[in-house]
C-alpha cells in the first residue's frame, strides 16, 4: 500500500485534531479550549489547501502540540537562537526565514526573510549571532539579523542522490557536515568525501574526515551528558520491505560504518554491487584497498550500528532532549528523531517522531513512539511528514512538516 495525500471529506477527523494530541483527561479550561479552536482552524486551513484532512495527533499524556506557524510551503531544517527566534530553511524556495513569538502565546507573530536566492539551502546552525547554512556545495555564514553572506567552505561534492547537506556545531566548536552518497549503492569515485561526516574549524579553514561508510546521515547530535556523537543513517533502497534497517550509530573518529557493503551489526548486504577492493577503508585516506577481499572480511573491519529502526523509515533530524529546560527528568538525555516516512515500501512505516531512550551506560536502549498521526494506517492517507527539529531556550520542541507547510511546537507537561 503506497501512502497517498488525497482529498478527504474527513471533517470529523479534523475536529478530533488537537484535543486528541493533548491527551488530557479533564475538560479543557475555557482559555485552553479557545486556543485549541484557533489551532484546529489553522490546521484545517493548511490541510484544506492541500485537500487533506487535518492530523489527529497522539502524544504521551500531558504533552501539548500547537501550530507555531503555517503556510510555509516546504519548511525543512530548523535551529533556534538564544532569544527564542526560530530559523527555518526552505530548500525549494532557496531562502531562510526567522520566526518569532513576541507575545508568548506559542504562535509565531513575526516573520522575516534572512536570506534569499540560496539554491538548495538545507542545513542550518546558529552560532554566535550568525547562521551557518549548507547548500549542496557550499557552507555560508550570514548575520542572523540579516546582511550579506560570506562563503566559509566551497567545493563540497554536489548533486547525486543525496544533495541535502547538514551542518551542526559540536561541543568542540567545529562544524560537522554530513555528505551523503551520490548513489543508492556503489563504490564512490570520491572515496575521500562521499558517504562521510566531515568537520571544519569554525572559520572553515581546516577539514578532517571524521567517519565514512555513512550513506546519508541527516540527523546527528551530541549527548548532553557524555558529549558522544550519535547519528541516524539511511539504509540502501530496493532490497525489499524489511532490509536494510535504518541505523543509529555511535560516531567515533576514524570509524567506517559499512555502507555500501555492510549494514546493521556488520551484516553483508547480499545485493551490493560494490567490490571491497574499490573501497577506502578508513576516513581521510582515499586509497582503495586495491586487492580482492571477501565482503565478510571487509564488514568485520567496520563499526556496527548500535540500534536499528525499520527499513525505509527515513530518519531526518535528531536532537537530544536537553537538561534543565522543563522536560521530565526521565526524558532528559534521551533523543527525539523525526521519521519522514517510507516511499518504497508496501506497508508504509515512519511518519512520526520517536523517542530513543538512552540508558545510564550512555547508549540507546529502545525506540518508542512520541508523536504519531502523520499517517492513517487504515486508509493510507498521509497527513503530513516531519523533517526538522529544534529545541527553544524554554524547552519547546519545534517540528517542521514539509508536506503541510507547518511548524509545530510541542511542550512537555508542566
The binding site for Ca ion (CB under 5 A) comprises 101, 103, 105, 107, 109, 247, 257-258
- The distance of closest approach from Cβ of residue 107 to Ca ion in the complex, given in angstroms and rounded to an integer, is 4
Which residue, 28, 109, 86, 75, is CA-closest to 396?
A: 86
Nearer to Ca ion, 248 or 335 (CB): 248
Q: What DSSP letter does each residue of 325-358 carry, written as one string?
A: SSS-GGGTT-EEEEE---SS-SS----EEEEEEE
- The distance of closest approach from Cβ of residue 108 to Ca ion in the complex, given in angstroms and rounded to an integer, is 6
What stretch of H or E contains 178?
Answer: strand 175-179
Strands (DSSP E) along 279-405, which ranges?
307-309, 315-320, 335-339, 352-358, 364-371, 375-376, 381-382, 386-391, 397-401
CB 123 within 8 A of CB 133: yes
CB 325 within 8 A of CB 343: no
Nearer to Ca ion, 5 or 97 (CB): 97
Nearer to Ca ion, 307 or 349 (CB): 307
- The distance of closest approach from Cβ of residue 233 to Ca ion in the complex, given in angstroms and rounded to an integer, is 6
Degrees (nearest 5) of the Cα angle 100, 106, 111?
Answer: 25
CA dist., res. 99 & res. 86, Å (int) = 5
- The distance of closest approach from Cβ of residue 100 to Ca ion in the complex, given in angstroms and rounded to an integer, is 8
Nearer to Ca ion, 105 or 277 (CB): 105
CA dist., res. 46 & res. 72, Å (int) = 10
Nearer to Ca ion, 194 or 385 (CB): 194
Residues β-bridged to residue 222: 229
- The distance of closest approach from Cβ of residue 257 to Ca ion in the complex, given in angstroms and rounded to an integer, is 4
- The distance of closest approach from Cβ of residue 106 to Ca ion in the complex, given in angstroms and rounded to an integer, is 7
CB 261 within 8 A of CB 181: no
Distances (CA, A) of 86 to 82, 96, 115, 218, 267: 10, 10, 14, 19, 41
- The distance of closest approach from Cβ of residue 40 to Ca ion in the complex, given in angstroms and rounded to an integer, is 17
Tell me if the bond preceding 260 is cis, omega within 30° of 0: yes
Any idea what DSSP says for residue 277? G
Nearer to Ca ion, 222 or 259 (CB): 259
- The distance of closest approach from Cβ of residue 240 to Ca ion in the complex, given in angstroms and rounded to an integer, is 18
What stretch of H or E contains 261?
Answer: none
- The distance of closest approach from Cβ of residue 110 to Ca ion in the complex, given in angstroms and rounded to an integer, is 8
CB 275 within 8 A of CB 302: no
Nearer to Ca ion, 26 or 103 (CB): 103
Nearer to Ca ion, 121 or 305 (CB): 305
Nearer to Ca ion, 17 or 258 (CB): 258
Amino acid at each position: 500500500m503506497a501512502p497517498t495525500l488525497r482529498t478527504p471529506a474527513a471533517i470529523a477527523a479534523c475536529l478530533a485534531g488537537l484535543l486528541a494530541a493533548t491527551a488530557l483527561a479533564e475538560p479543557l479550561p475555557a482559555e485552553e479550549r479557545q486556543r485549541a479552536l484557533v489551532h484546529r482552524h489553522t490546521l484545517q486551513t493548511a490541510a484544506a489547501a492541500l485537500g487533506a484532512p487535518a492530523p489527529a495527533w497522539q502524544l504521551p499524556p500531558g504533552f501539548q502540540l500547537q501550530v507555531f506557524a503555517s503556510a510555509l510551503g516546504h519548511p525543512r531544517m530548523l535551529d533556534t537562537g538564544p532569544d527564542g527566534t526560530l530559523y527555518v530553511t526552505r530548500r525549494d524556495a532557496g531562502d531562510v526565514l526567522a520566526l518569532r513569538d513576541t507575545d508568548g502565546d506559542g504562535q509565531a507573530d513575526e516573520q522575516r526573510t534572512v536570506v534569499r536566492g540560496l539554491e538548495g539551502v538545507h542545513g542550518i546552525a546558529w552560532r554566535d549571532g550568525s547562521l551557518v547554512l549548507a547548500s549542496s556545495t557550499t557552507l555560508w555564514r550570514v548575520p542572523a539579523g540579516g546582511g550579506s553572506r560570506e562563503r566559509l567552505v566551497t567545493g563540497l561534492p554536489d548533486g547525486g542522490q543525496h544533495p541535502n547537506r547538514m551542518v551542526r556545531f559540536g561541543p568542540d566548536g567545529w562544524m560537522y557536515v554530513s555528505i551523503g552518497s551520490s548513489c543508492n549503492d556503489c563504490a564512490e569515485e570520491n572515496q575521500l568525501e562521499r558517504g562521510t561526516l566531515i568537520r571544519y574549524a569554525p572559520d572553515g579553514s581546516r577539514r578532517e574526515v571524521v567517519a565514512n561508510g555513512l550513506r546519508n546521515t541527516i540527523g546527528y547530535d551530541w549527548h548532553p551528558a557524555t558529549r558522544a556523537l550519535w547519528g541516524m543513517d539511511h539504509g540502501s533502497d530496493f532490497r525489499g520491505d524489511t532490509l536494510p534497517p535504518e541505523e543509529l550509530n555511535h560516531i567515533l573518529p576514524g570509524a567506517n560504518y559499512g555502507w555500501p557493503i555492510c549494514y546493521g551489526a556488520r551484516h553483508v548486504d547480499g545485493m551490493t554491487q560494490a567490490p571491497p577492493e574499490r573501497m577506502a577503508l578508513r576516513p581521510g585516506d582515499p586509497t582503495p584497498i586495491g586487492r580482492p577481499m571477501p565482503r565478510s572480511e571487509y564488514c568485520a573491519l567496520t563499526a556496527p550500528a548500535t540500534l536499528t529502526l525499520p527499513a525505509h523509515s527515513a530518519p531526518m533530524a535528531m536532537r537530544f532532549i536537553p537538561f534543565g529546560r522543563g522536560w521530565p527528568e526521565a526524558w532528559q538525555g534521551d533523543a527525539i528523531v523525526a521519521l519522514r516516512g517510507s516511499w518504497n515500501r508496501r506497508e508504509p512505516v515512519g511518519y512520526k517522531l520517536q523517542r530513543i531512550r538512552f540508558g545510564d551506560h550512555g547508549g540507546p536502549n529502545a525506540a518508542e513512539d512520541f508523536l504519531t498521526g502523520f499517517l492513517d494506517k487504515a486508509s493510507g492517507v498521509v497527513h503530513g511528514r516531519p523533517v526538522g527539529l529544534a529545541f527553544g531556550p524554554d524547552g519547546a520542541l519545534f517540528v517542521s512538516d514539509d508536506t503541510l507547510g507547518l511548524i509545530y511546537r510541542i511542550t512537555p507537561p508542566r
